[in-house]
Amino acid sequence: MTGISYAHNVTATLQSTWRGRVLRGRGPLAAVVLACVAAVVAAVTAVVAPATGLRFVQDGHWVAQPESDLVVHVDGEAKTVDARMRVPDIEPGSSVVHGETSGYVVGRSRIVQFGKSTLTVERTVPAPADEQPAAVETPGGPYLVYREAGMVVRLGPEHATVPVPGPLGEPVATPDGTLWVHRLDSGVLCRLPRDARQVTCPAVAPGGHSGALTVVGSQAVFVDATDDTLRAVSTEGLGPSVPARIDIPDTARVAPRDADGRVAILDGEASRMFLVDAAELDPRRAPSAPVTVDLPQGDFAPPAVSGESVVMLDRTHKSVLTYASDGTPLHEAGLPEKRGDPRLAMAEDGRVYVEGAQGRHVLVVDHDGAVDAVAVVGDEERTSRETSVPPERNTPEREPANTDDETGDARDVRVDESSGGGEPRPNPEPPPDPAGPPGLPPSVSAQADDDTVTVRWGAAQSNGARVTAYHVTWSAPSVAQRSKSVSGGARSTVLTGLDYDTTYTITVTAENRTGRGAPATTSVTVERTPVVTVTRGTTDGYDGCETPECAKMRVVLRNFEPNTEYHIVPYSTNRYYSNEGSSQTTDDNGYVSFEAFHYEGVGDTVWVVVDDRWESNRYVWEAE
């Protein structure tokens, strides 16, 4: 069928807002594993130069805590909190998504943008609809899909609002960053490629059929609940039907992507999950039989996927269950928070993060289905919770120790059994937190000057071990990654020889004896800045122009387009002077130097203009 197109781009008016105050906690940190190609779920190393076209996968997950007006960053690899910042008046129920350089606190009435490197609030954008959107973190995004209102919001430098008549089903994204949505009223399936500003709708489900979208490998797939089939979706429309070999109920919830080639489908009313082998979408492969997994009674969220494991969130019992792609149970974990409904998020790093309703605890589900709990309470609360409590001992009953103050409160004491006399002694202080990798370097900035960029940052939280080095990387879509390292006391470095008209992504990572921390990221555009200068050149007489006053003008063009012809015209404060000018061609570096335009008016001011656009310095003419 002919693709249906809905085009609309609304650039939001951004308002300046408050600045956040950085809060940073300490805790045990595991070593952070970094990688340098976009296919690896991690940040950047400063050692290996990846292929051209590198894009950094966004690691970890940000969590909002409305009760304390904080957002915190959970490092999914280290299973720790490595950054905190205050965002005033966070709306209850807000979620947080992030792109390469910014994070976004998404509430029902507004979207608050903050810098990931500066940890300060940068601006706010009014929410386009009064509903909590579905969030998708993917290359080209992040995206917010307002399913009832029928619109997609792209956050980031190319902020746009794209209408897609709703209501809409759950959105999915393919690995290349293409967003797919299902129009529930008409069955139309629409796609929004990364960086595109309009959707096209190349396919439509059979009339009256219900279903949902998912992604298998790199292919969008429509799961048809009416005829129990799977069909690939592309710009050419729907592919052939492939039997699911199960009875898919109309109320089924489908995971947004496959787990090792199987599609997880939740039948909540029957408390079971199906794992359907999608191999037959490739006619050269034979599928395995579907697997049925019995679930405990409960209210389950739609399935999610972390690596090759399936993640089920039981909202009734506030617990998480993980399964291998063949249905084998892997792990089960509960959330300490019992108030409100927990929620899960599939992050761009491939992990699943399950948040307590108040954002005070997070479960991190790794690619193998392992579940780790991360407490993200504030520093004071965390200290009180982690203080050691002495174990009970089988000792004779003793009278409370006397106190010196009037309150009569007894000090907490422990019997020193090694002395034999039973003398009491105060409880020992709890052991200090072990050292861990440093935190994010704060206030990272980059300023371009011609083909040179100066990068600056603040001191990273040391986390118990002195920062010994900072590692800086820079890359662009058309430029391979480069890197350099500076001492732990450095707060800036200069990058030279950068390409003009190129936007670079720059990361700064701190290192101590336990390893490297998470990178702080910023970006900068290196723009070609043409410069033209004029001075007195070689003394030379010419047709009534007498030496020693007479000489040629020496003109130099720098940073112009390479191998390009320009027309240069001289001017003077002498209103009787005129010259038609000269055409010159730059070299491979955009440079040309020449002498022309005889002049003798000592004390006059001369200058040149290139292509009626670039004007030189003003030079006062002197005798030899």
Distance CA 459, CA 75 (A): 19
Specify the length of the chain in residues. Answer: 624
Does the pLDDT at position 195 exceed 70? yes
Query: DSSP secondary-structure letter at 300?
Result: B
Same domain, 541 and 511: no
Distance CA 50, CA 479 (A): 10
Domain boundary among 492, 526, 560: 526
Q: Which residue has the tokens 């781009």?
A: 9
pLDDT the model gives residue 435: 77
**3-class DSSP state of 584:** strand
Distance CA 38, CA 434 (A): 32
Token digits of residue 542: 């010419």
Which pLDDT tens digit goes with each residue over 495-531?
A: 998 988 899 999 999 999 988 887 888 889 998 889 9
Same domain, 540 and 510: no
- Residue 543 gets the label, from left (phi > 0), alpha (psi -120 to 50) or beta, of left
- Look at residue 437 and tell me if it is in a domain: no
Residues of the domain holding 542: 531-620
- Torsions phi, psi of 384, nearest 5? -70, -35
User: Three-state secondary structure along 253-319?
Assistant: EECCCCECCEEEEEEHHHCEEEEEECHHHCCCCCCCCCEEEECCCCCECCCEEECCEEEEEECCCCE
Q: Which residue has the tokens 């007479």?
A: 550
| CATH code assigned at 504 | 2.60.40.10
Distance CA 412, CA 392 (A): 12
Integer-rounded Cα radius of gyration of the chain: 32
Does the pLDDT at position 35 exceed 60? no
User: Three-state secondary structure along 451-518?
Assistant: CEEEEECCCCCCCCCCCCEEEEEEEECCEEEEEEEEECCCCEEEECCCCCCEEEEEEEEEEECCEECC
Name the band, by pLDDT with cuts 50, 70 and 90, for residue 45. Answer: very low
Same domain, 544 and 521: no
Dihedral of CA 178/184/185/189: which sign?
Answer: positive
Does the pLDDT at position 411 exceed 80? no
| CATH code assigned at 559 | 2.60.40
Does the pLDDT at position 392 exceed 80? no
Q: Lowest mean pLDDT: which of 185-199, 436-450, 452-466?
A: 436-450
- Of residues 192 and 45, more confidently modeled: 192
Token digits of residue 141: 């995004």
Same domain, 485 and 559: no
Whether 537 and 547 have beta carbons less than 8 Å apart is answered as no
Nearest to 143 by CA among 181, 97, 111, 175: 97
With 0-12 CB in 10 A as exposed, 13-18 as middle and 19+ as buried, what is 316?
exposed
Dihedral of CA 332/338/344/348: which sign?
Answer: negative
Nearest to 265 by CA among 343, 212, 315: 212
Same domain, 562 and 595: yes
- Look at residue 467 and tell me if it is in a domain: yes
- Look at residue 69 and tell me if it is in a domain: no
Same domain, 609 and 540: yes
CA distances from 7 to 161, 164, 172, 201, 232 (A): 10, 9, 20, 12, 25
pLDDT the model gives residue 404: 37
Distance CA 546, CA 555 (A): 21
Instruction: For the beta carbon of residue 80, count every other beta carbon within 10 angstroms.
Output: 28
Nearest to 141 by CA among 153, 126, 150: 153
Same domain, 562 and 588: yes
Distance CA 55, CA 273 (A): 35
Q: Which amino acid is at 434?
A: P
pTM beyond cutoff 0.75: no
Token digits of residue 574: 């002498």
- Look at residue 201 and tell me if it is in a domain: no
- Look at residue 40 and tell me if it is in a domain: no
CA distances from 214 to 110, 168, 177, 447, 560 (A): 29, 14, 14, 42, 49
Does the pLDDT at position 433 exceed 80? no
Over residues 22-34, mean pLDDT: 34
Same domain, 539 and 477: no
Q: Lowest mean pLDDT: which of 186-195, 405-414, 503-512, 547-556?
A: 405-414
Does the pLDDT at position 107 exceed 80? yes
pLDDT the model gives residue 373: 85
pLDDT the model gives residue 160: 83
- Of residues 205 and 386, more confidently modeled: 205
**3-class DSSP state of 280:** helix
Same domain, 537 and 614: yes
Q: What is the mean pLDDT of the chain?
A: 81
Terminal Cα distance for the chain, rounded: 79
Same domain, 587 and 537: yes
- Look at residue 225 and tell me if it is in a domain: no
- Look at residue 501 and tell me if it is in a domain: yes
Same domain, 589 and 557: yes
Distance CA 80, CA 203 (A): 43
- Look at residue 72 and tell me if it is in a domain: no
Alpha helix positions (H), 320-406:
379-386
pLDDT the model gives residue 39: 33
Nearest to 426 by CA among 373, 390, 399: 390
**3-class DSSP state of 121:** strand
Name the band, by pLDDT with cuts 50, 70 and 90, for residue 200. Answer: very high
Paired with 146 in beta bridges are: 151
Same domain, 535 and 611: yes
Domain boundary among 500, 526, 552: 526
Domain boundary among 526, 546, 577: 526
The domain total for the chain is: 2
Distance CA 610, CA 618 (A): 14
